[in-house]
Amino acid sequence: MKRGEAPEPGDVRWTSDDARYRVFWQTAPDEPVQSMDIVGVDAAEAISDARDVFGRTGPLSLALVVDPPGGERGLVWLLGTDLAVSAPTRRQAEAQFRQRQDYLSARSHTLGPGEELRLPDGRRLLRFFPDHGGLPVWESFTENYPFTRAGLIALGVPEAMVADLAAWDDANRSFEDDWVDGADGRAWIAARIPLIRALRSVLPPDVILYAGGD
C-alpha cells in the first residue's frame, strides 16, 4: 500500500448505495472516446456492464458522478482517468500509464501476423527508466525491451542523443548501494529531466514516452 491513513472513529455520518458511475472507453484510432452513465449497480457491476457494451479491447476509465448540494456536477476518478486529455497531475499520469499498460498487455496476446502493438488511438507507448539493458528506453510486450541503439535510431533519435542516453544509463551501474544519498547520485537523477525532454522532442508524434510522471 503506497498511502494509508487511519480513519477517525465515528466520522461517517451517512452512506448511500444510489451511485451514478460514468465510464469512458476507446476502441479504435478513428473513433472518439465514448462514455456512458451506469446507475443502480455497484462499482464492480459498472465495470462489467461497461465491458459488455464497449467490448474488452480498450482501456476503461471509471468515475463516480458527484452532485453536491447547490454545486456543480463533478467526477471522482475511481479507475484510471480521462485518456482524451493530457494528465494535469502526476497521479493522473500514473493512472493513464497503468491503463495503457493493461490494454497493451492484453492486446499483445491477440496480435495477428505483421500487426504492431499500438494503443486504440494508434500510438505506441515507451517507458524511460534505468536498469541493466544498456539504454533507458523500453517498449513493454515487444522485442524493444529494452530498445537497442539501432532501434532508437530507426525511430529518428540522433546517434549523439543515443550515446548520451547510454552514458546516463551506464552511470547507474557505477554507483554504490547508497549512491542516491551522495552529490553524484542527486546530480545523476537531475540529469534525467533534460534527457527526457530532448528525447520527446525528436520522437515521432505517434509515440508516447512515459517517465514516471517526470
Report pLDDT for 194. 96
Q: How far is CA 160 from CA 101, 154, 164, in A?
A: 30, 14, 6
The pLDDT-based confidence of 172 (bands split at 50, 70, 90) is confident
- DSSP category for residue 195: H
Q: What is the pLDDT of residue 60?
A: 80
pLDDT, residue 75, reads 92
Quote the pLDDT of residue 211.
Answer: 93
Residue of 147, 155, 189, 145 lying closest to 171 (CA atoms): 189
The whole-number pLDDT of residue 49 equals 85
CB-CB contact of 151 with 207 (8 Å) = no
Q: Are 65 and 22 in contact (CB under 8 A)?
A: yes
Q: What number is the average pLDDT over the span 141-145?
A: 93
Q: How far is CA 82 from CA 4, 32, 58, 88, 96, in A?
A: 25, 12, 13, 10, 8
Domains of the chain, residue spans? 20-84, 123-210
Q: Which has more confidence, 179 or 188?
A: 188
- Residue 123 C-alpha cell reads as 500510438
Q: Report, as an integer, the average pLDDT of 163-174.
A: 87
